[in-house]
Structure 1
Amino acid sequence: MNVLFDDEFEGLVAKFSELLTGDDSKEMVEKIKIWAIYNHIHKTMPALASHWNQSHPEAKVTIRKLYEEVRDLNLKLKEKNKEQQET
């Protein structure tokens, strides 16, 4: 790919991370990349995800924690936005 595309795509993922979790730090962007790719694999090839989970139980725990972190951050962000709209 080219540098311009890479920068633009990184910007897109950073914005997605911010809108999803309220955090666009490099660390969160990397977490969101993993979360999004795993989520896509899980939905499009569930047998592959299941096989990987069974073969890598320690990684399955890590993915579960990541899902919970993203879910919790998203819920907090939604609640914060709802409160701001009410005021």
Structure 2
Amino acid sequence: MEQKLREQFDGLLTKYTDLLLGETDDELKEKVQMWALYTYMSKSMPPLVKHWNEQYPDAKEGMKELIQEIRERNEQYRNEQNK
């Protein structure tokens, strides 16, 4: 993959993370990337995600926690913006 594309995509992910959560760093970007990809896969290939969840119940719980964290951070950020 071309380095320029990686850098441009990283900029997109950085901006998306900032708009979603009101802040960004490498850890948050990785969490948002995992959340977005998992959400997309669960909608586009539910049997695959179901199988993965059954194979790795601890990872399923980790994803549930990550999804909840993203949701809570997003709600908190939106509430702060609406004040």
Q: TM-score range by the shorter chain?
A: over 0.9
- The offset of 1:49, in angstroms, is 0.8
Which residue matches 2:48? Answer: 48
Q: Which structure has the larger Rg over C-alpha atoms?
A: 1
Gap regions ≥5 residues in structure 1: none
SS at match of 1:59: helix
Secondary structure, aligned partner of 2:33: helix
Aligned CA RMSD, in angstroms, stands at 0.7
Identify the residue that residue 14 of structure 1 maps to in structure 2.
Answer: 14
Partner of 1:31: 31
Provide TM-score, normalisation by structure 1. Answer: 0.91
Query: What is aligned with 1:80?
Result: 80
Query: What is the CA distance between 1:79 and its match in structure 2?
Result: 0.3
Whole-Å separation in 2 of the counterparts to 1:43 and 1:81: 30
Task: Give the distance between the partners of 1:54 and 1:26, measured in 2 at CA.
Answer: 29
Identity %: 34
What runs of 5+ residues in structure 2 fail to find an aligned partner? none
Moved over 6 A (4+): none
